[in-house]
Structure 1
Amino acid sequence: MSHTASSTLSVQLLGTLRVWSHDEEILIGPPKQRALLALLAIRLGVVVRREQIVDALWGPEPPATAANGVHTYVAGLRRALDPVRAGRGSGEVLVTRSDGYELRLPVEAVDAALFVRQREEARRMAAAGRPEAAFERLGAALGLWHGEALAGVPGPFAAMERVRLREMRFAAVEEWIGGMIAAGGSEEAVVVLNEAIVQEPLREKLRYLLMLALSRCGRQAHALQAYSETRTYLDEELGIEPGVELRNLHARILAGTVEGSRPPRSPQRETVPAQAERRSTAPTAAAYLPSHLPSRANVFVGRSAELRKVREMLTRESPERGRATPILAIDGAPGVGKSALALELAHESLDRFPDGHLYADLGGTSDHPLSAFDVLAQLLRNLGIQRASLPTDLDGRVMLYRSLLHGKKMLVVLDNALGADQLRPLIPQGSACLIVTSRQPQRGLVVRYGAHRIGLKPLDRETATALLLALTGAEQGTDRRSAVSRLAELCGGLPLAIRITAGRLLGDPYASPERLAALYEDPLTRLELLAVEGDDDMSIRSVITVSYRHLSEETARLFRMLCRTGLEEVGPMSPVQLMGITPAAAASHLESLTDHGLLEQTGPEEYRLNDLVRIYGAGLAEVRPQAIPLHTPRKLAITQDPDGRRIGGRVS
């Protein structure tokens, strides 16, 4: 780096964006050039890829000229920041990398970076039992602010950063005021708090501190009035009651037991600088450690090959090594165990992601899937962003979400995804790891992001039997195991069906594998029994219906016809015979059925109908397959024309 340029430059982001060299202010240029500098300064010392710059400056729908615009703005920044070297290559203040650009300046030269460092230092001081030093360091950090962060800087990235930095600022304000009160400065704290509450009226921690400071000043009546005003405001604005910490403080003020009390505890990291054990109650993006994964299955059997593959992927493409976010896409038929595998993988990998774990059900298996806009609201709330601070547009939420995850070793599980349009805004960048489950293969993730795809198949008979035995604790004697094995087979190897069956065996003291297997032999009875009353997610018929509803009219017609034949195995020319369509149209229909989990591809030109799926489809066709025992293997004997193409077959 040019010693002269790097040691004299300073960048102000915590207010109107301004840059100085020595004591002389530098003109940065047009608005998008200023937005580029803001992006590079926020990502100080990190290579920002060109596609990230385009997203940050223009959002998800950039103009065709965006790439050229990036080059123009980079060149303009070089002329402004390092005019001596501007004509001789990339320079050493703004460095060109193979896939992007990096701003190289000391942390002290960028006020936002210095603010973050000083706040972290204050936390460490507080944790070490040095509250006075922590209080002073927080005061120095807050003194770096000169107004709204990135004021006047355009673009979705700047809008998102303003929200993030504002959250960090007010979290630091709360910590600093907590230290002031603990040091005996309650009267001064009241003045500061009244001003802060005007700016952030929904932050309950500020109102808690105001009540505490008033009480410690001997102004109990004013403290109670502050609570009443808070309660009225929250009810009018949000329709909610004050949180438990505010209510508890109110009760202590009424009881006269406030003296010596401390600000409320929360499960987040220690933040208040006044005392090491004091914590912040207002979760913020900077301090909040999210962990929102549902529990894993109580019994998990099989999938050893898939688990091994993912472990190898995480080792090989750890966030520290990889340039892109590692993505695992799990797809498969309804009830095949996609979510169970995803959560099993997530829980066993928790230690790899110390910065937190996010989960969202995208509702792709329901009639009302969530939009990316709504999912982002859920994820941002889980990251500690207050509802009132959520961006009101999709671009703003995307940029805030990606910024909060940038540089963080976090795990994100997106369950029951529908398609690319829903997923694309939810893909983080950098060190996070993403696990996606979907009934449909997410080929776009594979092509565009290099995702690793796992296509789940039904369990083989031995593994399915082991799962049912493990779930029921059934005896493993020869006779009993034979009946359990038959039950597992009648469940089509689908873990959902096996779990429902286990629930029936455990919930009925008179049930036995032999008796239930006899009932399952009737296909329609079996489909009716494979359900949990009142829970559509635990019904084989319901989960298959969701996939069926997504089929086109012609593909649905073919599906019913295939199920009516009673076949298990189907060749690619069977639709030609059944419907009189072209081979190309047949291939398209078969691919659609496979993508929706209603056909299983077993070879280059071979497909299989799962027993339960076939029973469902036959019921739609109003044909009951009674004549053929479903446990008897049934295949389509394929015949060929002189050119070797499959043209049909017969039942054997």
Structure 2
Amino acid sequence: MSTGLNIHIELLGPVRAWRDGQAVHLGPPKQRAVLGLLASRAGEVVGVEQIADAVWGADIPQTAANGVHTYVAGLRRVLEPSRSRRQTGEVLVSAVGGYSLQTDARAVDTALFTQMIGEARQLRGGGDVAGAVEAFEAALKLWRGEAFGGVPGPFAALERSRLQDLRLTAAEDHAACLLDAGRHTEAVGWLTQAIGEDPLRERLRGSLMISLYRSGRQAHALRVFRETCELLRDELGIDPSPELRELHRRILVSDPALGAAAAPPSRPAAVRPPVPATPPVQLPTMPSGFAGRDEELALLSRELLREDDGGEGAVRLAVVDGPPGVGKTAFALELAKRIGRSFPDGQLFVDLRGTDPASAPAGPADCLLFLLRSLGVEDARIPGDLAGRIAHYQSLVHARRLLIILDDARSADQVRPLLPRGASCVLVTSRVRLSGLVARDGAYRVPMRPLDPEVSAELLARLAGRERMRPDSPVTRRLAHLCGHLPLALRLAANAFATDPGHPPAELLERYVAEPSRLDRLAVADDASTSLRAALDVSFQALPDDAARMLRSLGAARRETITATFASAVTGAPRQHVQQQLTVLADNRLIEEAGPGEYRLNNLVALYARECAGRTSREKAS
């Protein structure tokens, strides 16, 4: 049914909606959950009780029906903003006992995905293998991450599982089409990505073994079988299926019926050395409960995947900078999960240790050694000098599509020797604003700021347990504010609340109100990497003396919004000098630019600055 309105709803990733090509702000997670349910059953009437069951599950509150009506009203306001309260809606309509979303089937990406997969299978059944490959790839590109991302409730959980299984089945069929088309090498990249999502799926591993064998990599195909045996025994205590064992036997004896293995490349090993059996996938585990950043993720995904990459040999480069604890690495990993399929030759992760208190920043020579080893180069072939390693690295990666995360960079000079040429993509995270990479190397900059208050409260409730903390409660919102809306602080506080069920949340909150002990509580004993104070220590100690004095003075002044005039009055320094120091603090992401001539000081950074001021005063007194 056509509504006359251009509404498009996306469920294959974070739940989003578009009206006339413009993104719609869908409100809190439960409101997005209601939209996800109605969109999944577009054209059907869904009862209020069904909606409540889908959103709350077994923990339905007495006010659930009112909550459903409130969420529907909120969705109506954003989907049809010109509609008055007395007008009948065209998109989200009321029916006896429930509501119905009236929109075209292809306007919801889950329905579109199912339709496109069906069309792809029809093309394959009709003998149009090339058309089937294109159709499968177009369908799989609809995915932007985990389906129903960030949406609570049992219905969303079930749909996530169901849709993921459909996605992997489609990936299996797509790989089979690539093999039918003789595109064996290309199939390796797609299969490696899919196996990373479900390592126990034997059909995917069998297809990978065939694609490797037909690409002239018999030994690598056999290695995949050995890895599969070990994984199945370790995880499930079983052996591979008879079908996979038979495939292994046929590869082992080079069965002609399996398809002749291609001849090995004729290029010299020094130019194209052997690569691992499967492309390297080194990305660390994502922290639980990633929240927010939808706009930044969508914007950067489009920027990095655009067809016009600035010319042949121009690397796609983005810099994600922000203060300690703001979630830069988690953002980069979430982005990598969304766009990784477009870079089938591997995903590399290098810790540059720019702010590691226990060690010096990683040098380019050591980083290149790590990268070359990761790409399958034997130590005997790796040059000993920096220039030689750079040249070898550039030659090796030029023809490949790699996704490389350079985490915790200290300076642009630390990063530049590691930038490849060609079609690869590099994500750099840093606590400092690497303006040189933007100006000279064409990097796309994404500044990370604290989370929105609503997102912070939702993250706290999700991690601490909704039976303990509701996202709309004053206690939750107050705690989110005391944590400066920084993801690291929010996770630490949520963990403390979840592990102390014997005290009511309001009583636990009081422990964070007291300034002297708040930073003590936002830490884990004997783990400097999870201490907000330790993270701020590193950034503070890297400041020039004048900038450090400025930060101490601003913290003592207890004012969130700062101008050069105010800072000059506080410090007694000339305005021009004050402006220079404010710029230094902004470049080191210890204050945020809030507008022309205005800066904002996060309350946790301000608390830390007051601690530093107190220590300095005591040292002078002694």
Give the TM-score normalised by structure 2: 0.54
Q: How far is the alpha carbon of 1:451 from its aligned partner?
A: 1.2
Alpha-carbon separation, structure 1, partners of 2:471 and 2:425:
46
Cα 1:518–1:421 change in 2 (3 A) is same
Q: How far is the alpha carbon of 1:487 from its aligned partner?
A: 1.0
* 1:544 equivalent in alignment to 2:536: yes
Q: How far is the alpha carbon of 1:507 from its aligned partner?
A: 2.4
Aligned partner of 2:558 in structure 1 is 566
Asked if structure 2 preserves the Cα contact closer than 8 Å seen for 1:126 and 1:274, the reply is no
Aligned partner of 1:502 in structure 2 is 494
Count the aligned residue pairs.
373
Alpha-carbon separation, structure 1, partners of 2:252 and 2:573:
68
Alpha-carbon separation, structure 2, partners of 1:572 and 1:484:
34
Q: Which structure is larger by alpha-carbon Rg, 1 or 2? A: 1
Q: 1:460 aligns with which of 452, 458, 462?
A: 452
Q: How far is the alpha carbon of 1:348 from its aligned partner?
A: 1.5
Aligned partner of 1:327 in structure 2 is 317
Alpha-carbon separation, structure 2, partners of 1:125 and 1:447:
40
Alpha-carbon separation, structure 2, partners of 1:597 and 1:461:
20
Alpha-carbon separation, structure 2, partners of 1:361 and 1:623:
32
Alpha-carbon separation, structure 2, partners of 1:355 and 1:507:
42
Aligned partner of 1:225 in structure 2 is none
Aligned partner of 1:304 in structure 2 is 294
Asked if structure 2 preserves the Cα contact closer than 8 Å seen for 1:357 and 1:412, the reply is yes
1:240-262 Cα shifts (integer Å, max 9, x gaps): xxxx9xxxxxxxxxxxxxxxxx9
* 1:483 equivalent in alignment to 2:471: no
Q: How far is the alpha carbon of 1:622 from its aligned partner?
A: 1.0
After superposition, residues 42-121 of structure 1 pair within 5 angstroms as: none
Asked if structure 1 preserves the Cα contact closer than 8 Å seen for 2:555 and 2:606, the reply is yes
Q: How far is the alpha carbon of 1:463 from its aligned partner?
A: 1.1
1:42-76 Cα shifts (integer Å, max 9, x gaps): xxxxxxxxxxxxxxxxxxxxxxxxxxxxxxxxxxx
User: Secondary structure, in 3 states, of the residue corresponding to 1:350?
Assistant: helix
1:131-175 Cα shifts (integer Å, max 9, x gaps): xxxxxxxxxxxxxxxxxxxxxxxxxxxxxxxxxxxxxxxxx9xx8
* 1:606 equivalent in alignment to 2:612: no
Q: How far is the alpha carbon of 1:522 from its aligned partner?
A: 0.2
1:88-133 Cα shifts (integer Å, max 9, x gaps): xxxxxxxxxxxxxxxxxxxxxxxxxxxxxxxxxxxx8999xxxxxx
Q: How far is the alpha carbon of 1:318 from its aligned partner?
A: 6.4
- Amino acid of the structure 1 residue aligned with 2:392: L
User: Secondary structure, in 3 states, of the residue corresponding to 1:437?
Assistant: strand
User: Secondary structure, in 3 states, of the residue corresponding to 1:532?
Assistant: coil
Alpha-carbon separation, structure 2, partners of 1:548 and 1:603:
24
Q: How far is the alpha carbon of 1:426 from its aligned partner?
A: 0.7
User: Secondary structure, in 3 states, of the residue corresponding to 1:496?
Assistant: helix
Q: How far is the alpha carbon of 1:375 from its aligned partner?
A: 1.1
Aligned partner of 2:165 in structure 1 is none
User: Secondary structure, in 3 states, of the residue corresponding to 1:621?
Assistant: helix
- Amino acid of the structure 1 residue aligned with 2:493: T
Identity of aligned residues (%): 38
Q: How far is the alpha carbon of 1:512 from its aligned partner?
A: 4.2
Asked if structure 1 preserves the Cα contact closer than 8 Å seen for 2:318 and 2:427, the reply is yes
* 1:354 equivalent in alignment to 2:347: no
Alpha-carbon separation, structure 2, partners of 1:585 and 1:297:
41
Alpha-carbon separation, structure 1, partners of 2:341 and 2:318:
18
* 1:376 equivalent in alignment to 2:373: no
Asked if structure 2 preserves the Cα contact closer than 8 Å seen for 1:288 and 1:383, the reply is no
Q: How far is the alpha carbon of 1:485 from its aligned partner?
A: 1.5
After superposition, residues 148-297 of structure 1 pair within 5 angstroms as: 284-285=274-275, 289-297=279-287
Aligned partner of 1:515 in structure 2 is 507
Structure 1 unmatched ranges of 5 or more:
1-123, 128-171, 183-204, 206-243, 245-261, 626-652
Structure 2 unmatched ranges of 5 or more:
1-181, 186-212, 228-244, 618-622
Asked if structure 1 preserves the Cα contact closer than 8 Å seen for 2:457 and 2:480, the reply is yes
Alpha-carbon separation, structure 2, partners of 1:535 and 1:286:
34
Q: How far is the alpha carbon of 1:287 from its aligned partner?
A: 5.9
Cα 1:391–1:624 change in 2 (3 A) is closer
Alpha-carbon separation, structure 2, partners of 1:406 and 1:465:
45
Alpha-carbon separation, structure 1, partners of 2:183 and 2:487:
52
User: Secondary structure, in 3 states, of the residue corresponding to 1:615?
Assistant: helix
User: Secondary structure, in 3 states, of the residue corresponding to 2:529?
Assistant: strand
Asked if structure 2 preserves the Cα contact closer than 8 Å seen for 1:391 and 1:397, the reply is yes
Aligned partner of 1:632 in structure 2 is none
User: Secondary structure, in 3 states, of the residue corresponding to 2:326?
Assistant: coil
Aligned partner of 1:208 in structure 2 is none
Aligned partner of 1:576 in structure 2 is 568
- Amino acid of the structure 2 residue aligned with 1:315: L
Alpha-carbon separation, structure 1, partners of 2:310 and 2:603:
45
Cα 1:461–1:401 change in 2 (3 A) is same
Alpha-carbon separation, structure 2, partners of 1:583 and 1:272:
80
Cα 1:480–1:328 change in 2 (3 A) is closer
Q: Larger deviation: 361-370 or 321-330?
A: 321-330
- Amino acid of the structure 2 residue aligned with 1:606: E
Aligned partner of 2:431 in structure 1 is 439
Cα 1:319–1:509 change in 2 (3 A) is same
Asked if structure 2 preserves the Cα contact closer than 8 Å seen for 1:332 and 1:440, the reply is yes
Alpha-carbon separation, structure 2, partners of 1:177 and 1:528:
56
Give the TM-score normalised by structure 1: 0.52
RMSD: 3.8
Aligned partner of 2:613 in structure 1 is 621
* 1:525 equivalent in alignment to 2:512: no
1:6-55 Cα shifts (integer Å, max 9, x gaps): xxxxxxxxxxxxxxxxxxxxxxxxxxxxxxxxxxxxxxxxxxxxxxxxxx
